[in-house]
Each structure stands twice: as structure tokens, then as C-alpha cells.
Structure 1
Amino acid sequence: MENYFKGKNVEEELQRDSIPLKDLPVNFLWMQVKGGSKITNLLSHATGILEDKATTAVVWSGAGVAIPKAISCAEILKRQFSIQHQVTKLTHKKVEEYWEPKLDGLETIVVKRQIPVIHILLSVDAIPDVNQIGYQNLQQKKFWQKDTSSNSKPSSSNKSKKPFKYKKPQ
């Protein structure tokens, strides 16, 4: 590859009508997360719209390196608004990288790749098809919740501890 330099990238753009989620609400907020997006900016925009009751559903989409950021945003928003319904879908998009030759007589190389993409639908209202793949009902009891039916005393290790305070050396 020392005889080539990186040329242009041609990426397949995500379209609003190509979101692979079934039964999307008519009026939903679509948050496209990029690698350089700031989580605070994304969340402030989404929370403002949800607080204004402009919509009851948000779709978070992220591709490649933006997938963890999209998941984090969805998890934070889910906890902040106690959202009970989630559908997650994984797909991919096509990217073509063009490598241009430095020397005469060589041909341009085209590398075709598939980048993973995640779409997370969070809905305050019930989702019509609860049997679709990727659906999560968040009202169900979680495995880490404490069972209140037992009569055992809590152990001392469950008590909250004071946070560590740093003292400056003198």
C-alpha cells in the first residue's frame, strides 16, 4: 500500500424511511449519533423535546465508533424518563474507500466495507408488536432487584459507605 494514498470515501447515508424498526410512531424524534457528537448536547436536545411532550418516542442511531455513544444516550434517557418500551435492531451500511495510485500504470483500488449500525427505539407509549425481535419490556422485574418476601436481615456489607475524601498533603 506504500504506492497508494487514501482518496475519497463514499458512504451510504442513513435515511429516515430506511430505519428497520416496525410500527414506528408517526411523530418520533430521530437522533443520529456521530463519533464526534457530545453526549450532553444530544441528551439536552432529546430531553427538551420529550419534556415539551412534542413526541413520545425517540430513535437513537449510531454507526461504527458511534455505537457505544448511541447506547449510552439511550440508557441515560431511558432512566431519566422511566421509559418502559425499547426495540433494538442491528444492521449495516456500505462504505467504499478509494485508494489512488502514486505511480503511473497502477489502477485505483476500491475497498468495500460494511459498517455496523444500531437503531434503538425508546417509547413511552406501548409498542403494538411486542413479539418482534429486539423488543424489551422494561416493566418486568429485574434480576438484581431485592426480593422483599424474605425475612432475612440485610448484612452490614450492604450499608452505604461514606465517599473517600482526598486530603492535600501539607
Structure 2
Amino acid sequence: MLAVISDNSHPIPGLTPNTLHMRVKQGSKIHNLLRIVTARFQGDRDNNRIRQVVFTGSGRGITKTITCVEILKRSVAGLHQLSKVYYKRANQDSQRETPSQVLEKRIPAIWILLSKDPLDPLEPGYQAPQRAPPESSGGLLPAGPSPKHKRLCLDGQIESHL
């Protein structure tokens, strides 16, 4: 079961004071978010440089939050990840019945911590850094269909690439 957390608390305890917090919303531009975080990870001065960033998103912003994290993990090597999924409380005025009635909604939300420093591997939601791709291939897949790939042509014929 997922926990329900109020807006003023967060599910990841013990964050360092200079942790960058990025709140991702449905209308956020991924390029802008990643530009800010990448610049802070590669900061030119020690007081501007960060070692941890927390991405948060709720409702329809969850997918964009995860997309930001996955892109950043591929561009900055050696990032440890800690993910927490929970419900956020939100109050909504009832439109149907009496106007003074307030309904409490539970909105799904996610917090994802990315850290250059090691995190507790026993913590639920921990993911170790991804291994680098082999040097021989340059990390890229070969162009074209895979060796066992079959393609259906417009005339109904099956073309095989073995």
C-alpha cells in the first residue's frame, strides 16, 4: 500500500542542504529542466555545483518526471537513484452538493532522488548506477534491422533478414 503524505513533508529523509529540487508539472519543458540540472551538476564553482537532485511530479506530471530522470541518467554517468511513489492529499470544493463541503482527493505522486554519492542499497526503491555500454560498439546499436528481423511488405510478401 502506498503512503499518503501531506504537501509540507517528503518521503526521502536526510537530503543534503544543497540538494536541487525540481518540481515537474504537466506543462514543464523537458529540455529546460534538463538544461538547469546538467548545468548545476557541472557547475563552474563549488558553491554552484550539486551532487544530488530530486525530481518530483504528481498526477499527469509523473510521466514527464520519469522521462527527465531517465534522460539525465544517460547523460550523467554514475548516478544512484532512489524512487518513492506515494499519494498526495489535495482538497477540492464539492460542486455537486453543498458548496461548503470539501472533498479530500488522493493524487498519485513520485519523488526520485539522483545522487553522485552512493545511497543505501537496502532502501526500498534504490537503483544502482547503470553500467556503461561496451567501448567497442560506442554504446550504439547497429543501423538497420536485427539479424532475426522479418518485415511484412505491402504486397503481402514476408521479407526475412537472416
Aligned with 1:115 (options 107, 120, 139): 107
Cα deviation 1:128-167 (Å, max 9, x = unaligned): x2211001112469xxx88xxxxxxxxxxx85229xxxxx
Task: Give the alignment of 1:1-170 within 5 angstroms.
Answer: 14-15=7-8, 18-52=9-43, 54-100=49-95, 107-108=98-99, 109-127=101-119, 129-139=120-130, 159-161=142-144
Structure 1 length-normalised TM? 0.67
Q: Distance in 2 between matches of 1:75 and 1:132?
A: 20
- Deviation at 1:25? 2.6
Unaligned stretches of 5+ residues in structure 1: 1-11, 147-157, 163-170
**TM-score, normalised by the number of residues in structure 2:** 0.70
Q: Aligned AA for 1:120?
A: I
* Structure 2 CA distance for partners of 1:137 and 1:159, relative to 1, 3 Å: closer
Q: Give the gaps of 5 or more residues in structure 2.
A: 135-140, 146-162
Q: CA deviation at 1:99?
A: 3.0
Cα deviation, 1:14-39, whole Å, max 9, x if unaligned, reads 44xx2211332332111011111111
Q: Does the residue aligned with 1:73 lie in a helix, a strand or coil?
A: helix
Which structure would you say has the larger Rg? 1
Q: Which has the higher contact order (CA 8 A, sep 6+)?
A: 1
Matched positions, count: 131
